[in-house]
Amino acid sequence: MTEHVWSYKSTAGHLAGAELTGYKVEAIDGSIGKVDKHSDEVDDAYLVVDTGVWIFGKEVLLPAGTVVRIDVDEQKIFVDRTKEQIKGAPEFHRDKHLDDPAYRQELGTYYGPGGPFGGRIV
């Protein structure tokens, strides 16, 4: 069964209401930054990740469906995408895109089954 891209996978270990700000975010091939903001809204859960120097101080928005595991003890979140896949996602600007349904649709398509990776890890 394919779970919605804007919802945490049931196996990710996410607890509703958990404070994830400041957690490190790990792609398949290395660290991409820290959580700056997150949402637990039903069918609209996401992470805003401050990439620091990795992408020249930009932020990326990751749908909760990309999260495969949350390690509370280590304060790390593991996602099922490579750094290159995340870097290639539609550009995110907090002021413009955070509440933009069209951007969410574009990002959902990019990371979802219809996206360039077919929703799978490469």
pLDDT value of position 2 = 39
Q: Strand order of the sheet with strand 24-27?
A: 59-63, 46-50, 30-39, 24-27, 76-79, 67-71
Residue type, 103: Y
Is it true that domain 24-111 has CATH number 2.30.30? yes
Which tokens hold the place of 82? 């490579």
pTM, two decimal places: 0.90
- What contacts 120, CB < 8 A, 6 or more positions away? none
Q: In this predicted model, what pLDDT tens digit does every residue of 17-39 receive, in sequence order?
A: 899 999 999 999 999 999 999 99
Task: Measure the CA–CA gap between 38 and 115, rounded to whole angstroms.
Answer: 23
pLDDT bin (cut points 50, 70, 90) of residue 73 is very high
For the chain, give every domain's residue range: 24-111
Mean pLDDT in residue range 29-55: 92
Return the SS3 of 55: coil
Of 7 and 3, more confident? 7
Q: In this predicted model, what pLDDT tens digit does every residue of 80-118 receive, in sequence order?
A: 999 999 998 998 998 899 889 999 899 989 998 777 765
Of the CA atoms within 13 Å of residue 119, those in its CB half-sphere come to 13
**pLDDT tops 60 at residue 9:** yes
